[in-house]
């Protein structure tokens, strides 16, 4: 079983829809939770990160972490065609020996249709 | 602007050949990483380094090696390329924060 599970999709929605992306994980040592966005033939770029549990909002994007359920989510409001990309969740444990060592989900491919 | 660059962007090689992928960063980050990305697996860590002369194995290190002789560069070597190593390879670097890694544009490697 993989440490981090993510539905690969693909997910297709109309412009303006609310998108929900999710990951589950099994390692209770994970403390940092990230969402990366990757456009076709590009490297991943950090979109949002959350430490421990709770919510974080940045414009149209909201990240949620539920450590009790080992479940994280990314919500995109008023989705735009420019949001079409692959979204990867990533996690890491705390401590200097874990710096930058990210465990990724498989990535969900999102297409937002005009 | 600081950046991280990979070369080449595309490479085709034959089974059994030695191949080296270059990674160069100007962030002055101590930490550098190599990942491979395959359908159904996401990104998996191959090797990483926390400073000059420091190298460590990741989740899928068999058949790969790295060396760190300066802060800016972490080349990835495939000792004897195999078809199973056909993949997209990403280099990344990070500072001391435990959250943000900056990725290069990737190298698409095909082993025939």
Q: What is the pLDDT of residues A33-84, one digit of tens each?
A: 999 999 999 999 999 988 888 899 999 999 999 999 999 999 999 999 999 9
With a cut of 70, say whether residue B76 has pLDDT above it. yes
Q: Which of A31, A43, A103 sits opposite B105 (nearest CB)?
A: A43
With an 8 Å Cβ cutoff, is A43 touching chain B? yes
Inform me whether the pLDDT recorded for B97 exceeds 70.
no
Report pLDDT for A7: 83
Q: List CB contacts (< 8 A) between B103 and chain A.
A: 43-45
| pLDDT at res. A93 | 86
Give the E-state strand segments of chain A in sequence order. Answer: 4-6, 11-14, 19-25, 30-38, 45-51, 54-58, 61-66, 71-76, 85-93, 103-104, 108-113
Is A94's Cβ below 8 Å from some Cβ in B?
yes
Calculate the alpha carbon distances from B35 to A27, A72, A81 in Å.
Answer: 20, 23, 28
**Each residue of A13-31: pLDDT tens digit?**
999 999 999 999 999 999 9
Residue B90 sits at the chain A interface (C-beta within 8 Å): yes
Given a cut of 80, whether residue A99 has pLDDT beyond it is no
How many C-beta neighbours within 10 Å does residue B102 have? 20
Q: B45, A102: Cβ pair inside 8 Å? A: yes
Q: Is A24 on the interface with B (CB under 8 A)?
A: no
Q: How far B81 CA lies from chain A's nearest CA (Å)?
A: 23
């Amino acid at each position: 079983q993989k440490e981090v599970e993510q539905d690969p999709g693909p997910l297709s929605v109309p412009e303006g829809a609310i998108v929900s992306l999710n990951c589950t994980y099994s390692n209770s040592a994970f403390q940092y939770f990230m969402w990366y966005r990757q456009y076709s033939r590009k490297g991943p770029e950090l979109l949002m990160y959350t430490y421990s549990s709770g919510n974080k909002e940045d414009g149209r994007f909201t990240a949620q972490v539920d450590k009790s359920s080992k479940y994280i989510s990314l919500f995109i409001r008023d989705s735009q065609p420019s949001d079409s990309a692959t979204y990867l969740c990533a996690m890491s444990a705390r401590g200097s020996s874990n710096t930058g060592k990210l465990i990724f989900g498989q990535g969900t491919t999102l297409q937002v249709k005009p | 602007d600081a950046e991280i660059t990979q070369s080449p962007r595309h490479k085709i090689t034959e089974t059994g050949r030695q191949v080296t992928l270059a990674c160069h960063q100007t962030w002055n980050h101590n930490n550098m990483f190599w990942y491979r990305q395959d359908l159904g697996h996401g990104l998996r860590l191959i090797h990483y380094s926390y400073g000059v002369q420091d190298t460590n194995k990741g989740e899928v290190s068999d058949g790969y090696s790295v060396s760190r002789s300066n802060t800016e560069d972490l080349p990835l070597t495939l000792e004897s390329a195999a078809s199973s190593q056909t993949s997209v390879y990403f280099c990344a670097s990070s500072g001391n924060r435990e959250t943000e890694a900056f990725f290069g544009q990737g190298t698409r490697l095909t082993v025939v």
